[in-house]
Amino acid sequence: MNKYMLPSSVKTFSGGNEDVYVMFKDYWNHYRTEQLGAKGLDFDKTNADGKLLTFSDKETQMNKMIHKEIARVSGVTTFETLPFELWASNPTVLWASFAVVSQMIDAVLPETLIDSIGLYTDIRTIGFGDSAAFDIEPRDLFVVSKSGRGMRQAEIKKQYRGQVTVLPENHTITVAVSLYRVLAGKESLASFVAKAVRSVESEITVDAYNAFATAMAALSSTAGNTQLQVSGYAQDDLIRLCQKVGAWNGGSRPVILGTVRALGNVLPVDANYRYDLESDFVKIGYVRNFVGYDVMALPQVADWTTEFAVRLDDTKLWIVSPTSQKLIKLVLEGSTLSNVTGQFDAATLQQKANLHKSWGVAVASSSLAATIAL
């Protein structure tokens, strides 16, 4: 049995040939570990003979597997029967190439998003052309009142669920490619897919974070109201907000979220504390657990609209309950769609590949959260 689970749409597309998509998930974890510095991801470090498997070796194997899958999907027995120049102008091969790319994106995108925004985002996949309806459970408990022994019933209470519908919107990546160079092995298709995944993940992460930050900023607009929003870090305020969020979310254990830079401020009020070189604070820049509450870092995201800017606010701490109703709802619609122009459509002989992915983001929850502005 494969150690990686595949979405049902990818399984159907593969027609039982799942190895290439399972291998891409392994390649993607290796890529994130080696290229992006991710920690704790599972991937093969040795081949079947027990020899060390480098990322470069894996990328070479991955490209061969992708070419083999393109041949299968396009109905081509093998690319060796004709020169690459001829296959590159075959419209069926053009379609198959980016159909395979689309399925590889769908194979890894949901898990990648969970790692990035899963602490505050409920992620759901829906069919193409569908919308998603989220039921919002009431946060309140039933009122318990004293009553006389001769009373049949007390005041009647009834709660109603709310419902929020999230509609996905289409987003497109358009890139210039040379399919001839890809099929000839001059350009890495595996690397292209990895960058496409990163691009979609980054944009979805920004959308989800913007919705989250907007909701948190609107917690209290009343001057002097510090019920859920505090300016300036103080240990007592942090504990107070953690207790409040946990209690009002039905006892669901809250966690403290923020960027690594923001979490570096979560320290004991005692100025005489000491830490050694093996402590979490030295190794990762913050303490993993503070007064009994887990502390978790959100990965920073580049703001590509402004040179060298970043998206996540380094001056905010957020207290949320991940096991309660998550604040943000995200829907991913259907499979990734793709199309590519013909090899000779442009005067420059440059082909345009378009990858279409639809998603929608909304704030929809009865869960309580709090924020501290550092």
What is the C-alpha separation between 328 and 209, in angstroms, rounded? 9
| Confidence at residue 357, expressed as pLDDT on a 0 to 100 scale | 95
> Does 305 map to a domain?
yes
| Confidence at residue 36, expressed as pLDDT on a 0 to 100 scale | 86
Is the per-residue pLDDT at 210 higher than 60? yes
> Does 255 map to a domain?
yes
Q: Domain total for the chain? A: 1
Is the per-residue pLDDT at 165 higher than 80? yes
> Does 241 map to a domain?
yes
Nearest to 341 by CA among 91, 103, 104: 91
Determine how β-strand 169-177 pairs with β-strand 351-363. antiparallel
| Confidence at residue 2, expressed as pLDDT on a 0 to 100 scale | 52
Is the per-residue pLDDT at 359 higher than 80? yes
| Confidence at residue 195, expressed as pLDDT on a 0 to 100 scale | 92
Strand partners, 354: 174, 339
Domain interval for residue 237:
218-329+365-373
What is the C-alpha separation between 372 and 237, in angstroms, rounded? 8
Segment of 176-180, 297-301, 349-353, 357-361 carrying the highest mean pLDDT: 357-361
Question: Residue 124: which pLDDT band, with cuts at 50, 70 and 90?
Answer: very high
Nearest to 236 by CA among 284, 270, 262: 270
> Does 242 map to a domain?
yes
- Residue-wise burial string across 196-214, b where 16 or more C-beta atoms lie within 10 A, e elsewhere: bbbbbbbbbbbbbbebbbe
| Confidence at residue 356, expressed as pLDDT on a 0 to 100 scale | 95
Is the per-residue pLDDT at 358 higher than 90? yes
Mean pLDDT over 162-181 rounds to: 88
Mean pLDDT over 152-181 rounds to: 87
Q: Which of these ranges, 29-38, 173-182, 218-227, 271-280, has the smallest mean pLDDT? A: 218-227
Mean pLDDT over 33-46 rounds to: 89
| Confidence at residue 145, expressed as pLDDT on a 0 to 100 scale | 85
Mean pLDDT over 197-201 rounds to: 93
| Confidence at residue 256, expressed as pLDDT on a 0 to 100 scale | 96
Mean pLDDT over 271-296 rounds to: 85
Contact present, 121 and 330 (Cβ < 8 Å) = yes
> Does 151 map to a domain?
no
pLDDT mean across residues, the chain: 88
The 8-class DSSP code of residue 46 comes to: B
Strand partners, 228: none
> Does 265 map to a domain?
yes
Question: Residue 3: which pLDDT band, with cuts at 50, 70 and 90?
Answer: low
Between 42 and 270, whose confidence is greater?
A: 42
Strand locations in 180-306 (E): 229-231, 255-258, 289-290, 293-297, 302-303
> Does 235 map to a domain?
yes
> Does 63 map to a domain?
no
| Confidence at residue 85, expressed as pLDDT on a 0 to 100 scale | 67
